[in-house]
């Protein structure tokens, strides 16, 4: 499939995304607390997978907010669709097939874009940043959560697939983004939050 590589997370491994132990070493509440979510916001979860973040984000922005859950793989969207059919699931999540460089979302449609555990998979990170800038509204923020390279595994991808946080910071700064936060998150991850500082550099 176009856009997939050896680093792309496969649907056959989806059980890892819903493993209860994940809640201990990557608590969604810890990440969401950094995102300053309020009801009425529109957020895009790119690489949404089974909805580990999309679902709690949807609850945080309800009742008037919305989440666009974007994933490249139809199988992942089917798994998320099934989860959303369960009793008590949020009703404010819309599913889109797309990738980080081509989300199929409208321009200036989001207050927040989340790339969770996707950064290390991307072949063209500058293109992903341009797409995030395109779909963000003025003042919107980008949150990138990914795997630390200086920890033991499992869990997570091979260490040589991981991108050091400092490399991501360097790329964003040189692409015209303003960094608001960066640092460790959970037991094995880093989190970076930024907004577009220089729109002219995003073209």
Judge whether 3 lies within some domain: no
> Has residue 6 been placed in a domain?
no
Buried b (16+ CB within 10 A) or exposed e, 149-182: beeeeeebbeeeebbebeebbeebeebbbeeeeb
> Is residue 157, in this structure, part of any structural domain at all?
yes
- Within-domain flag for 103: yes
The rounded distance, in Å, linking the Cα atoms of 170 and 165 is 9
How many domains does the chain contain in total?
Answer: 1
The verdict on residue 5 lying in a domain is: no
Angstrom distance (rounded) from CA 194 to CA 130: 13
pLDDT for position 2: 44
Is residue 30 assigned to a domain?
yes
Burial of 65 (0-12, 13-18, 19+ CB in 10 A): buried
192 found inside a domain: yes
pTM: 0.89
pLDDT value for 203:
43
Domain enclosing residue 111, as ranges = 11-202
For residue 190, what is the domain's CATH number? Answer: 3.40.50.150
What is the spatial distance between Cα 163 and Cα 61, in angstroms, rounded to a whole number?
30
pLDDT (tens place) for every residue of the chain, 203 residues total: 444 455 555 555 655 566 678 888 899 999 999 999 999 999 999 999 999 999 999 999 999 999 999 999 999 999 999 999 999 999 999 999 999 999 999 999 999 999 999 999 999 999 999 999 999 999 999 999 999 999 988 898 999 999 999 999 999 999 999 999 999 999 999 999 999 986 544 54
| Domain assignment present for 82 | yes
């Amino acid at each position: 499939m176009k856009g997939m590589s050896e680093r792309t997370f496969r649907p056959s491994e989806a059980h890892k995304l819903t493993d209860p132990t994940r809640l201990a070493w990557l608590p969604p509440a810890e990440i969401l607390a950094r995102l300053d979510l309020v009801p009425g916001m529109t957020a895009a979860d790119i690489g949404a997978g089974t909805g580990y973040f999309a679902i709690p984000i949807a609850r945080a922005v309800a009742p008037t907010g919305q989440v666009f859950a974007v994933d490249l793989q139809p199988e992942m969207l089917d798994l998320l669709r099934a989860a959303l059919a369960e009793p008590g699931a949020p009703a404010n999540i819309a599913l889109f097939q797309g990738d980080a460089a081509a989300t199929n979302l409208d321009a200036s449609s989001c207050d927040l874009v989340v790339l969770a555990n996707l950064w290390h998979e991307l072949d063209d990170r500058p293109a992903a940043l341009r797409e995030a800038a395109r779909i963000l509204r003025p003042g919107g923020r980008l949150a990138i959560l990914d795997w630390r390279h200086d920890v033991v595994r499992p869990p997570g991808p091979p260490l040589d697939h991981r991108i050091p946080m400092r490399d991501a910071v360097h790329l964003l700064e040189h692409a015209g983004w303003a960094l608001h936060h960066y640092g460790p998150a959970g037991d094995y991850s880093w989190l970076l939050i930024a907004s577009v500082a220089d729109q002219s550099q995003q073209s």
